[in-house]
Amino acid sequence: MPTAPPRIANPAPRIRVGCAGWSIASTQRALVGDGASQLQRYATRFDAVEINSTFYRAHRPATYQRWADSVPADFRFSAKLPRTITHDARLSGVGPLLQTFLDEAGHLGDRLGCLLVQLPPSLAFDARTAATFFAMLRRRWHGGIACEPRHASWFSARAEALWQRHRIARVAADPALNASAAQPTGTAAPAYWRWHGAPRVYYSDYADDTLRGLAERVAAATPHTDEAWVIFDNTALGHALANAATLQAQLRALGAGTAG
């Protein structure tokens, strides 16, 4: 059963910046260094990535092991829970499915830094279902957990109490369902932003001024958390990589703790 490695106190919170996937367009080759694979090249610049393919299909343990072996020791993956758990079963009766996923993703070893639970827009907050699921997930996985709810009923005091109880980070999303959804909450670690592209999800580029505002919000949040993640999911036209690189530079200009 995979668990997170022991935490070491760090007075300077780490800000991890990356993308949802590690594809690199030929026009963006200069943004990264050399490597035998796209993942190795990606990892020369960024210290975090989301594995979104786990939402759609299972991967062999050997695949996870190969990915883990391709990145530096301080690199971390965030693995998205399968749709069979979040969208098909809608969090109910998923113990065996969850264990299978954890056993497979556990082959990332200590490179597995976070689990991402993205919920369908149609899934309303049900206190009993949510409490049962997240309690089970927390018993089986001791590392970071980020949840991206997309139904308005999850932005409530009862849901907030759930995040706190089980040490779950509620994702700060863009575009945001409401003002609350744009801000991370729920637990001291990690703070987690997912920017999908706006106004056109997955396609739109972010202007430098918009990213500067994000950098300021992330830097302001880090005194309250041990670690922050910022993931760009506007990958359809390749904007995620450039946006992530720009954010890194802006965070450095603010004196915030990011790699790259």
* Distance, CA of 156 to CA of 118 (rounded, Å): 17
Q: For 53-99, what is each residue's pLDDT tens digit?
A: 999 999 999 999 999 999 999 999 999 999 999 999 999 999 999 99
- Output the pLDDT for position 4: 41
Cα–Cα–Cα angle for 147, 257, 182, rounded to 5 degrees: 35
Q: Assign 1 a pLDDT band (cuts: 50, 70, 90).
A: very low
Q: For 46-55, what is each residue's pLDDT tens digit?
A: 999 999 999 9
- Three-class SS state of 60: coil
pLDDT > 90? residue 221: no
- Report which secondary-structure segment, H or E, holds 144: strand 144-148
Task: Find all residues with CB under 8 Å of 248, minimum gap 6, and list them.
Answer: 17, 45, 46, 258, 259, 260
- Report which secondary-structure segment, H or E, holds 247: helix 239-253
Superfamily of the domain at 14-253: Protein of unknown function UPF0759 (3.20.20.410)
Q: For 118-153, what is each residue's pLDDT tens digit?
A: 999 999 999 999 999 999 999 999 999 999 999 999
* Distance, CA of 120 to CA of 129 (rounded, Å): 14
- Output the pLDDT for position 2: 43
Q: For 109-127, what is each residue's pLDDT tens digit?
A: 999 999 999 999 999 999 9
- Report which secondary-structure segment, H or E, holds 77: strand 76-80
Q: Buried b / exposed e across 26-52, counting CB within 10 Å, b at 16+?
A: eeeeebbeeeeeebbbbbebbbbbbbb
Q: Is 238 exposed, middle or buried (0-12, 13-18, 19+ CB in 10 A)?
A: middle
- Three-class SS state of 75: coil
Q: What is the pTM of this model?
A: 0.92
Pick the residue with more confidence: 2 or 259? 259
- Output the pLDDT for position 256: 84
Q: Is 89 exposed, middle or buried (0-12, 13-18, 19+ CB in 10 A)?
A: middle
Task: Find all residues with CB under 8 Å of 11, minimum gap 6, and list them.
Answer: none
- Output the pLDDT for position 7: 36
* Distance, CA of 48 to CA of 22 (rounded, Å): 10
